[in-house]
Amino acid sequence: MRGLLTLALALAALLPIAARPSALAPDQEFRDELQRSLGNGLPGISVALATRQGVVWTGSAGYADIETGAPAHAGYLYGIGSITKVFVACVVQQLADEGRLDLDATAGSILGKAIVGDIPNAATATLRQLLRHTSGVPTWEFDAD
């Protein structure tokens, strides 16, 4: 949930800036907005803006870990939890709509046995089943490893 909040705050903070004229350089205005977000109770934030050409801007403010006092930095990766499923499902569906991916293809046929060989049911699970959570692939969340 914290990851979703971080993402939402980053979008809410930076997207309006990109759309309005300003006397400040965009880099400084983005950095100022990240600092202001800390005043709203956010302990830390790292943002990367990207286009098809790659990352075009990065910034951070506050702490990556408030317990240790480690500062946030542009390379810090925050866990975003279950919201990842939504992003992956959207991209998979877009690729299927474009005819670049078959929802009835198996994970094994796409990734190969070297990747899915040790995961029960993964070699025969279709993308459609994976997206519907009906593949029979067990969760990894409670693995001891």
Is the model more confident about 12 or about 82? 82
Assess if residue 139 is contained within a domain. no
What pLDDT score does 70 carry?
92
Assess if residue 77 is contained within a domain. no
* Domain end residue (candidates: 22, 44, 71): 71
What pLDDT score does 63 carry?
92
Assess if residue 78 is contained within a domain. no
Identify whether residues 64 and 89 lie together within a single domain.
no
User: Crossing angle, helix 2-19 and helix 83-97, to 10 degrees?
Assistant: 60
Identify whether residues 119 and 60 lie together within a single domain.
no
Copy the structure tokens of residue 123.
């070699």
Identify whether residues 65 and 87 lie together within a single domain.
no
Per the structure, the count of domains in the chain is 2
Q: For residue 44, give the 3-state DSSP assignment.
A: strand
Mean of pLDDT values over 89-110: 91
Q: For residue 94, give the 3-state DSSP assignment.
A: helix
Is the model more confident about 41 or about 64? 64
Range of the domain at 103: 83-132
Q: Tell me the sheet residues that pair with 44.
A: 62
What pLDDT score does 141 carry?
59
Contact in structure between 30 and 38 (CB atoms under 8 Å): no
Assess if residue 58 is contained within a domain. yes
Assess if residue 126 is contained within a domain. yes
Copy the structure tokens of residue 62.
């506050």
Identify whether residues 40 and 10 lie together within a single domain.
yes
| pLDDT, tens only, 22-53 | 444 567 888 888 888 888 788 988 888 777 77
Identify whether residues 6 and 66 lie together within a single domain.
yes
Containing H/E element for 68? none
Contact in structure between 3 and 83 (CB atoms under 8 Å): yes
CA distance linking residue 142 with residue 9, whole number of Å: 30
pLDDT band at residue 144, thresholds of 50, 70 and 90? low
